[in-house]
A and B are shown apart, each in its own frame.
Chain A
Amino acid sequence: MTAFLNQCFSGLAMGGIFAILALSLVMIFQATALLNFAQGEMAMASTYLAWQLIQHRVPYWLAFFLTVILSFAAGVLIERLIIRRFASAPVLTVVIVFIALVFIIDSVVGWIFGYQLQEFPSPFPDHNWFNNPLVSSHQSGILLVTLIVMAVVWAFFRFTTLGLAMRAAAQNPASSRLVGIKVGWMLALGWGLAAAIGSIAGMMAAPLVYLDPSMMSSLLLYGFAGAVLGGINNPWGAVLGGLIVGVSVNLVGAYLVGTQLQLAVALTMIIGVLLVRPSGLFGRTIVTRV
């Protein structure tokens, strides 16, 4: 029973990271209907930034928020300087740009920081909270951070004018422009938010998977899976999807088919869900008038 609960909780913790990544994917998808393949590498670069700050003895939480803010700025810059130029290019061109970003960020980070494994601190205490024997404080911390990020994102879109403007720009750019929303800047904001949220995923993942330039490549796949399973156009769904993927991969691997097939089976389950509900478990079905 202990082993079962351990599998669940370690799955939930990884699921939390998948969820935050999924959330950042949703940010850009909502605005552009494209999956940003470079999301993971952007998060990895942000994590190196945080690591560098911490190496210079900046207190953890200060480094954390500085990283989030700088990542936001970097995300906006990437959209303004690069992605913008391809706004009217075919989808495939944009995909190639994303893939190019993956390799560019990866090599530049490797060139600056090297490819050696680095330790990354966890902000949470060493001992388990409330002396529970099952969940480490970092694992519970990840879940807490996931919930906070989700709540903030939800409140932002629900209660602020800017959030409303972003939603409008994504759903109906033409009408939004007519009522005075700067649609171009809304896209840049979406990229900024995605980069900021991604950096949180990176900083939460690094104490578990350690910091190296390839740290996010495997996580991103699971983030994709979570986002698609939950519904790529629904932030809540993406988060739930991420958590479900995290737990089910662990349980499937440990109790059903063994570790060799765990990813295959988890992805098969997702295909199964999508066959029945193409927009994901919690996604909105989009009806387009033709």
Chain B
Amino acid sequence: MISRRELLASGAAASVATGASLPALAANAPGVTATEIRIGQTMPYSGPASAYGIIGRTEVAYFKMLNEKGGINGRKIKLMSLDDGYSPPKAVEDIRRLVEQEKVAFIFQSLGTPSNAAIMKYLNNAKIPQLFVATGAAIFSDPKKFPWTMGFNPNYQAEAAIYAKHILANHPKAKIGVLYQNDDFGQDYLVGLKSVLTGDKAGMITKTVSYEVSEPTVDSQIVTLQGAGVDVMLFAATPKFGAQAVHKSFALGFKGVRYLSNVSAAFPILKAAGLDAAKGLLTAAYVKDTSDPALAKDPGYMEWAAFCNKYMDKNAIVDGNAAYGYAAAQTMAHVLKQCGNDLSRANILKQAQSLKDFTCATLLPGITLNTSPTNYSPIRALQIQDFDGAHWKSAGELIHS
């Protein structure tokens, strides 16, 4: 809840910012002054998911670049990015600090399904925008229940639906085996598959096996899928288990088609599984594979590389997570630009709901972002890509979920 004092404070700040000439405008959000917009986020800079920390670093660097170019509509953006160690209780503590002490205008790109779930109710009760959350769980694109929370990643159900459509188009007689993580993340894939494979197609899913994150390997599960005689395997798995599944199915001599969930498709993970073992994998992508030399002349890539050379360390260029963070920051900057001088929380949300065919430098050609008051999933189409043993190559048209 916003206290009366905060409301008064923000109103006072707003009247200073906009002057008396614009009395009709709603009060600007806390954290907005004539020269600054203060926003906050939590990131796993330490702990088990710290590989994602580079997303936050990229976003901070992106706004630093914007500020050096004069900011947005004359205001500098100050992104306060705090470490939550991928721990939901720490995320709650950080978010309360950001909102109540640092008076941020809104929350941008906090990372992780559990952390975002933990802060979602608090932010919605206080009517503070929680924009472009860095997770693909479907619960974050539900405007009816949580109007102040908006997703960014294509959600996992949509991704699975796209695999199902690709299977129907290319292997209509397939016998599908699914390996899934036994939690919200993995089960979302089953839901997505089943939403497309209905009626007489439902039988195509021949075998599903789950695993718990506490298990050492998924070798036994892959043997089970192979033993069930499937000719298409879908691995709805997080990186470590995805790598194991790729490796084991290869070692067992599986000859069919394999789909790997997008979160596990990063190059270092495939390298761990063995590049030979990963050859021929399919995934649904939306971020450019910036390690691919074929992109050298791509304008978006050149913008990205120039940014990295100046504001990041050079290794970031080929890091898919960094490229993802750049796209999210670009989207956020666009929304703030659209807000003009009305930086009330309501207007920030309204502009976030009004993305129309927005494109980002580091997203694949044809990937556009669209939102509306009833559509909180900005990215709805994905590009099927296959792994040629060194890079991901786009195959065919974009598929819409």
Chain A contacts to B: CB under 8 angstroms: 2-4, 6-7, 10-11, 14, 17, 110, 114-119, 136, 205, 208-210, 212-214, 217-219, 221-222, 249-250, 253-254, 258-260, 262-263
Q: A10-B219, A218-B214, A263-B215 are in contact. List 8 more A-B contacts (CB 8 A).
A: A3-B226, A7-B220, A10-B220, A136-B251, A217-B214, A222-B216, A249-B220, A259-B221
Interface string of B54-75 (1 = CB under 8 A from A): 0000000000000000000000
Assess whether B182 is in contact with A260, with CB atoms less than 8 Å apart: yes
Interface string of B234-248 (1 = CB under 8 A from A): 000001100110000
Q: Please measure, in the bound complex, the distance between the C-alpha atom of A114 and the C-alpha atom of B220, giving whole angstroms.
A: 29
Q: Please measure, in the bound complex, the distance between the C-alpha atom of A14 and the C-alpha atom of B220, giving whole angstroms.
A: 10
> Which of these, A6, A11, A116, contacts B51 with CB under 8 Å?
A116
> Which of these, B47, B216, B244, B268, contacts A116 with CB under 8 Å?
B268
In the complex, which residues of chain B have a beta carbon less than 8 angstroms from the beta carbon of A118? 272
Interface string of B195-221 (1 = CB under 8 A from A): 000000000000001111011110111
Q: In the complex where A10-B223, A115-B51, A116-B268 touch, is A212 in contact with B240 (Cβ < 8 A)? A: yes
Assess whether B210 is in contact with A209, with CB atoms less than 8 Å apart: no
> Which of these, B51, B215, B220, B243, contacts A210 with CB under 8 Å?
B243
Assess whether B223 is in contact with A218, with CB atoms less than 8 Å apart: no
Assess whether B269 is in contact with A259, with CB atoms less than 8 Å apart: no
Q: Please tell me if B48 contacts chain A, counting CB pairs below 8 Å.
A: yes
The prevalent SS among residues of A at the interface is: helix
Assess whether A214 is in contact with B48, with CB atoms less than 8 Å apart: yes
Assess whether B268 is in contact with A117, with CB atoms less than 8 Å apart: yes
Assess whether B217 is in contact with A209, with CB atoms less than 8 Å apart: yes
Q: Please tell me if B271 contacts chain A, counting CB pairs below 8 Å.
A: yes
Pick 7 A–B contacts, CB within 8 A, sort by A. Answer: A3-B227, A6-B223, A14-B216, A117-B268, A117-B269, A217-B214, A254-B224
Q: In the complex where A3-B226, A115-B48, A117-B243 touch, is A209 in contact with B211 (Cβ < 8 A)? A: no
Assess whether B220 is in contact with A117, with CB atoms less than 8 Å apart: no
Q: Please measure, in the bound complex, the distance between the C-alpha atom of A205 and the C-alpha atom of B216, giving whole angstroms.
A: 9
Q: In the complex where A115-B47, A117-B268, A208-B244 touch, is A219 in contact with B227 (Cβ < 8 A)? A: no
In the complex, which residues of chain B have a beta carbon less than 8 angstroms from the beta carbon of A208? 216-217, 219, 244
In the complex, which residues of chain A have a beta carbon less than 8 angstroms from the beta carbon of B239? 117
Q: Please tell me if B359 contacts chain A, counting CB pairs below 8 Å.
A: no
In the complex, which residues of chain B have a beta carbon less than 8 angstroms from the beta carbon of A4? 227
Query: B219 → chain A, closest Cβ, in Å?
Result: 4
Nearest B residue (CB) for A218: B216
In the complex, which residues of chain A have a beta carbon less than 8 angstroms from the beta carbon of B269? 117
The prevalent SS among residues of B at the interface is: helix
Q: Please measure, in the bound complex, the distance between the C-alpha atom of A208 and the C-alpha atom of B222, giving whole angstroms.
A: 13
Q: Number of B interface residues, CB 8 Å?
A: 34
> Which of these, A2, A17, A115, A253, contacts B220 with CB under 8 Å?
A253
Assess whether A250 is in contact with B240, with CB atoms less than 8 Å apart: no
Most buried by B among A14, A117, A119: A117
Q: Please tell me if B50 contacts chain A, counting CB pairs below 8 Å.
A: yes
Assess whether B210 is in contact with A259, with CB atoms less than 8 Å apart: yes
Q: In the complex where A119-B272, A218-B215, A259-B209 touch, is A254 in contact with B220 (Cβ < 8 A)? A: yes
> Which of these, A17, A117, A221, A254, contacts B240 with CB under 8 Å?
A117
Assess whether A114 is in contact with B227, with CB atoms less than 8 Å apart: no
Chain B residues 166 to 219 lying within 8 A of chain A, measured CB to CB, are 182, 209-212, 214-217, 219
Q: Please tell me if B306 contacts chain A, counting CB pairs below 8 Å.
A: no
Q: Please measure, in the bound complex, the distance between the C-alpha atom of A212 and the C-alpha atom of B274, giving whole angstroms.
A: 16
Assess whether A263 is in contact with B220, with CB atoms less than 8 Å apart: no
Most buried by A among B211, B219, B243: B219
Q: In the complex where A117-B243, A136-B251 touch, is A219 in contact with B216 (Cβ < 8 A)? A: yes
Chain B residues 111 to 165 lying within 8 A of chain A, measured CB to CB, are none
Query: A168 → chain B, closest Cβ, in Å?
Result: 36
Q: Please tell me if B49 contacts chain A, counting CB pairs below 8 Å.
A: yes
Q: Please tell me if B302 contacts chain A, counting CB pairs below 8 Å.
A: no
Q: Please measure, in the bound complex, the distance between the C-alpha atom of A136 and the C-alpha atom of B219, giving whole angstroms.
A: 12
In the complex, which residues of chain B have a beta carbon less than 8 angstroms from the beta carbon of A222? 216
Q: Please measure, in the bound complex, the distance between the C-alpha atom of A6 and the C-alpha atom of B268, giving whole angstroms.
A: 28
Q: Please tell me if B252 contacts chain A, counting CB pairs below 8 Å.
A: yes
Assess whether B271 is in contact with A119, with CB atoms less than 8 Å apart: yes
In the complex, which residues of chain A have a beta carbon less than 8 angstroms from the beta carbon of B216? 14, 17, 205, 208-209, 218-219, 222
Q: Please measure, in the bound complex, the distance between the C-alpha atom of A218 and the C-alpha atom of B215, giving whole angstroms.
A: 6
Interface string of B245-269 (1 = CB under 8 A from A): 0000001100000000000000011
Assess whether B48 is in contact with A2, with CB atoms less than 8 Å apart: no
Q: Please measure, in the bound complex, the distance between the C-alpha atom of A114 and the C-alpha atom of B105, giving whole angstroms.
A: 33
> Which of these, B211, B244, B271, B274, contacts A259 with CB under 8 Å?
B211
Q: In the complex where A6-B252, A260-B182, A263-B215 touch, is A115 in contact with B49 (Cβ < 8 A)? A: yes
Chain B residues 267 to 321 lying within 8 A of chain A, measured CB to CB, are 268-269, 271-274
In the complex, which residues of chain A have a beta carbon less than 8 angstroms from the beta carbon of B51? 114-116
Q: Please measure, in the bound complex, the distance between the C-alpha atom of A119 and the C-alpha atom of B273, giving whole angstroms.
A: 7
Most buried by B among A4, A222, A253, A263: A253
Query: A152 → chain B, closest Cβ, in Å?
Result: 25
Q: Please measure, in the bound complex, the distance between the C-alpha atom of A93 and the C-alpha atom of B223, giving whole angstroms.
A: 44
Most buried by B among A119, A213, A249: A119
Assess whether A7 is in contact with B223, with CB atoms less than 8 Å apart: yes
Assess whether A263 is in contact with B243, with CB atoms less than 8 Å apart: no
Nearest B residue (CB) for A7: B223
Assess whether A263 is in contact with B224, with CB atoms less than 8 Å apart: no
In the complex, which residues of chain B have a beta carbon less than 8 angstroms from the beta carbon of A209? 216-217, 240, 244
